[in-house]
Structure 1
Amino acid sequence: MQKSIKLRSAKKFSTGPRLLALSAALFLAGCGSLAPVPFKAEDIQERAAQDRVQMYADQEPIAAPLTFHEAAARALKYNLDYRLKLMESALSRSLHDVSSHEMLPRLVAGAGYVYRNNDSGGSSIGIIDREESLRPSTSQERERTLANLNFSWNALDFGVSYYRAQQKADQVLMAEERRRKVVQNVLQDVRNSYWRALGAQKLIGRVDSLLARVNTALANAKEVEAKGLMPRAQVLSYQRALLDAVSLLTLRRQDLELARAELKALMSVAPGTTITLADEKEFALPAVPGNIEALERMAMEKRPEIMEEWYRKRVTENDIKAAKAMLWPNISIDLGPQYDSNRFNYNSSWVDAGVRVSWNILRLAQLPALKRAHEHQNKTDDMRRMALSMAVLTQVRVGVQRYGLSLAELKFAEESLRVDQSLFDYAKAASQSRFDSELEVIRSEARALLAEYQRYAAYSNAQAAWGRVYNSVGLDVLPETIDGHDVKTLAAALENTMSQWQGQVFTTVAAKK
């Protein structure tokens, strides 16, 4: 009878491990059978439709012609690249908050249930005579519940978490510098595209009308050539001039259309939406700055790329500091109440406290290598910043030179427009019913229209060059918060800030020439 009970107990004991092994095998087999599952075509179409809606969601409607500052405000408020940088900045702040909490001590609450299928216990034997001194006994129940609340603090964990939190704080500042750079780039692109798009709005109707007249004149010229009403060389010469005009006008028309498309993309305007630009007076362009050294000092102090590299140096330094902190002794403190429902315990609840000191002495061998790495890292970071600073200074000087050249180009384009417009007026006044006079009027009008386009392009290039001077110096032209402003308010703040910079900074710099 006793033997059969032991057999049943042994059989019962062996069933548990078998079930556990079978469950583990089934779980591992299930994990190994996972196969790549691509998205379905319906899912892709739904995602694309939702993305298209989200790209243009929550935008103020365009109810009136847009001024330059309103177009810039809309671009900065709704541009997807800028919104991405805002999200990255918010993410950096959240990660910094998370890392700050990692410096806190640990306070872990635990509870559990423990069961075993037989009794825990034992007997004792004498050390000298090796005789059993106690019969087998137990002081632990088969079923019991446990609870604890443990407070622990680790010096090394605190030190490493402290340096990691500093790194996250610097990464927040780096994300802010990247946001500033995107703002400056978007404003630079808007400055270039807006004035080209405004020129397109003014000229594209006239270009289309003239193209129709040129095509009609080409057809008439072919008819004159076929009938022999004029010398063949003269007719072919006129056709050549008209074809050249068609080619140039077609290319310029493409440029004008692309300018409007670029501006709409910068403002994140939905495709198919018609926008009208305000027929505002062109902004007066300031004189070329003369004190380049003052601009270079401003660029060294304000350029986002230089500031980002400077913060990156602190991040890498904290990496080395965290590695050095791991070399020193570690102190850990543990304290917490404990509970065990075991009825054989004399005290079912008690408080554990302990202090431990540990030191991996062999890690000290890393100290010389870490010092060398720290020194080399600092030199590398400084050299990277110096190389970037040299590029920035070059951009400032090249930007000022380009601005001066663009002003000269604008002056030349205005003079060319004056001459071509006078020739066109003269051709109209002197035109008669003769075919060659009509061709001359068309050719003069095409030349005048191209000159007017060149003048708009030159003004746009001058504005873009002036924007590059802004960009090369690293000036901020926005309030700190953008989402909290509507387009009108943001445009007014943008205009005020730009006027202050231009009036106070660049005028002073130019006066030192």
Structure 2
Amino acid sequence: MWYWSLKAPGAAMLALALAACTNIRQQPYTQDETVDRAKADQVRMYADQEPVTGPITFYEAAARALKYNLDHRLKLMESALAVNLRDVSSYEMLPRLVASAARTGRDNDSGGTSIGIEDRQVSLRASTSEERYRNLSSLGLSWSTLDFSIAYYRTAQKADQILMAEERRRKVAQNVLQDVRNAYWRALGAQRLLPQVDGLLKRTNDALRQAREAQDKGLMPRQEILAYQRALLDSVSLLTIRRQDLEFSQAELRALMSLPANSPMQLVDTPDPVLPMIGPDVSQLEQLSLVRRPEIMEEWYRKRVNERDMEIAKAQLWPSIGVSVSTQYDSNIYLYNNHWNAVGIDVSINLLKLLALPSLNATQQSQRETDDARRIALSMAILTQVRVGALRYQLTLQEVQFANESLRVDTSLLDYARAAKKTTLGSDLEVIRAEGRYLLSRYQREAAFSNAEAAWGRLYNSVGLDVFPTAIDSYDIKTLAAEIERVTTDMEQNKLIRGGTGASLVKR
């Protein structure tokens, strides 16, 4: 390291360098660079995924969503980052071991003269005891109680922030599972209904074309043929709207599983599972939600992080004890000892800072009360979610029963219309109408069942239940799906939750 006296040419060069630093121009990305970045990002979205080799079950869809969902991946990265930050912070508790080496130089000699204190007369001629160019080196070990205390509390904060990041990851995973449960059954209903809807739309459009031809040829009264066309157009409009809803549900499921939009997707078409029944006692669900919900746990860890901030502020009020040990070397030939060891200890305290202690105590108490109030308010909101979730699920079960009854009636009407069909145009219309009502009832039944499954998933979510292993990345899709199915089945068949009294909250 070199030190030189700053003269006019050096000052001018320094000014030019500073001016150049402050004159940095904006450099936006080019269009080609933007396109290349977009293509690379799109490749990374679907990279390293197991290919879809057959029909997908609900649990495989949940496994794919958990393993490849980008939001969940982001939370995993945040958790890993929090761990790395904790590890870095823990090294701050170690003593400081600093090694340095330098070479200094100047363009003239340092030195001076001495004068008498009383008579102010020069007593020595100008002399120096320092070389113009010399080497310096040192190796020092230092430790401070204040630095150690601050590093300790910071590391403890980082450890709590790891736990907070894990709770956020749990929440994202629970939300992903809820979304999959909602989208999967709607997509399965779409897979069942879309071919029938497309077939009926084709027949309806053919009937509409025939009606226009009959109108042009005057085969039927004008008012009757227009009413017939009006009924057909209403049927086409309603079927088209329902068809769009069905297609949207399939697109949503693909997005949740991080599958490309144009990739084929076949779902396993098995009989719908039996919907569980909730027992009359919901208090145990409420109690469990206060224990398991990630949001409450995160707030509880946040309270401890805030406590550490106050401990750091208090640690800065007390005396700081510093200890240092070092070995030094100076190549100056005029020194009697070019190499020496040094030991030091110092104690320091800012007495005026002690005046802030009462305010810090009051702030700490206010912070505790605020953290508790925020957690209690969140707990109340969660209890409300559990109660509303249980009530909503009960209502969706009633909707499923009503939809099943409606489907039974419309099925009978369709059978009657087909049996009574004649060769007249009006009979065809009645069959088309009956098929339209039948498909609408099928759609409403599938929608009611998917709503019930979604409500059941929201109840899972409101309680904070986890149905997935911790290390998701270490499982393949089949193993992860089997694990999710095992845990879910165990929860539902074994009373979902066993309270202190062993009462059954969920029964088949």
TM-score range normalised by the length of the shorter chain: over 0.9
1:4 — aligned with what?
none
1:369 to 356, 359, 367: 359
1:133 aligned onto 2:126? no
Aligned equivalents of 2:202 and 2:490: distance in 1? 47
1:309 aligned onto 2:299? yes
Aligned residues: 501
Does the 8 Å CA contact 1:245/1:447 hold for their aligned counterparts?
Answer: no
Shift of 1:235: 4.2
1:331 aligned onto 2:328? no
1:18 — aligned with what?
8
Code of the aligned partner of 1:174: M
1:511 aligned onto 2:501? no
Aligned partner of residue 470 in structure 1, secondary structure: helix
1:348 aligned onto 2:367? no
Aligned equivalents of 1:37 and 1:207: distance in 2? 54
Structure 1 range deviating more: 223-232 or 344-353: 223-232
Structure 1 range deviating more: 189-198 or 232-241: 232-241
Does the 8 Å CA contact 2:278/2:505 hold for their aligned counterparts?
Answer: no
2:440 to 444, 450, 467: 450
Aligned equivalents of 2:316 and 2:148: distance in 1? 11
Shift of 1:365: 1.7
Aligned equivalents of 1:281 and 1:149: distance in 2? 76
2:242 — aligned with what?
252
Shift of 1:133: 2.8
Aligned equivalents of 1:441 and 1:505: distance in 2? 47
2:492 — aligned with what?
502
Does the 8 Å CA contact 1:289/1:400 hold for their aligned counterparts?
Answer: no
**CA displacement 1:444-483 (0-9 Å, x = unmatched):** 0111111111111111111000000000000011111011
Does the 8 Å CA contact 1:218/1:242 hold for their aligned counterparts?
Answer: yes
2:84 — aligned with what?
94
Distance 1:399 1:244, change over 3 A: same
**CA displacement 1:163-220 (0-9 Å, x = unmatched):** 1111111111111001000001111111111111111111101101101111222233
Distance 1:274 1:293, change over 3 A: same
1:398 aligned onto 2:388? yes
1:55 aligned onto 2:45? yes
Distance 1:24 1:512, change over 3 A: closer
Does the 8 Å CA contact 2:414/2:435 hold for their aligned counterparts?
Answer: yes
Aligned partner of residue 259 in structure 2, secondary structure: coil
Does the 8 Å CA contact 1:291/1:512 hold for their aligned counterparts?
Answer: yes
The correspondence of residues 458-497 of structure 1 with structure 2, limited to 5 A, is 458-497=448-487
Distance 1:507 1:137, change over 3 A: closer
Aligned equivalents of 2:505 and 2:434: distance in 1? 45
Aligned partner of residue 337 in structure 1, secondary structure: strand
1:35 aligned onto 2:25? yes
Does the 8 Å CA contact 1:152/1:333 hold for their aligned counterparts?
Answer: yes
Code of the aligned partner of 1:399: G
The correspondence of residues 173-192 of structure 1 with structure 2, limited to 5 A, is 173-192=163-182
Does the 8 Å CA contact 2:490/2:496 hold for their aligned counterparts?
Answer: no
Gaps of 5+ in 1: 1-13
Does the 8 Å CA contact 2:57/2:267 hold for their aligned counterparts?
Answer: yes
The correspondence of residues 246-285 of structure 1 with structure 2, limited to 5 A, is 246-285=236-275
Shift of 1:224: 4.2
Distance 1:56 1:161, change over 3 A: same
Structure 1 range deviating more: 363-372 or 133-142: 133-142
Aligned equivalents of 2:413 and 2:221: distance in 1? 25
Aligned partner of residue 494 in structure 2, secondary structure: helix
Aligned equivalents of 1:289 and 1:57: distance in 2? 45
Aligned equivalents of 1:512 and 1:462: distance in 2? 17
Shift of 1:19: 2.7
Aligned equivalents of 2:298 and 2:346: distance in 1? 41
Aligned equivalents of 1:236 and 1:131: distance in 2? 128
Structure 1 range deviating more: 464-473 or 499-508: 499-508
Question: What TM-score do the two structures reach when normalised by structure 2?
Answer: 0.95
Does the 8 Å CA contact 1:290/1:511 hold for their aligned counterparts?
Answer: no
Aligned equivalents of 1:512 and 1:466: distance in 2? 13
Q: Note the aligned Cα RMSD (angstroms).
A: 1.9
1:412 to 393, 402, 419: 402
Code of the aligned partner of 2:360: L
Does the 8 Å CA contact 2:131/2:334 hold for their aligned counterparts?
Answer: yes
Aligned equivalents of 1:356 and 1:228: distance in 2? 112
Code of the aligned partner of 1:274: P
Question: What TM-score do the two structures reach when normalised by structure 1?
Answer: 0.94
1:195 to 185, 207, 210: 185
Code of the aligned partner of 1:67: T
Aligned partner of residue 55 in structure 2, secondary structure: coil
Identity of aligned residues (%): 57
Shift of 1:507: 6.7
Shift of 1:227: 5.3
Shift of 1:286: 0.6
Shift of 1:512: 5.4
2:162 to 151, 158, 172: 172
Aligned equivalents of 1:111 and 1:422: distance in 2? 95
1:64 aligned onto 2:57? no
1:156 — aligned with what?
146
Aligned equivalents of 2:487 and 2:227: distance in 1? 55
Aligned equivalents of 1:232 and 1:451: distance in 2? 32
**CA displacement 1:329-351 (0-9 Å, x = unmatched):** 11111111001111122211111
**CA displacement 1:244-276 (0-9 Å, x = unmatched):** 222221111001100010000001111211111
Does the 8 Å CA contact 2:164/2:302 hold for their aligned counterparts?
Answer: yes
1:240 aligned onto 2:239? no
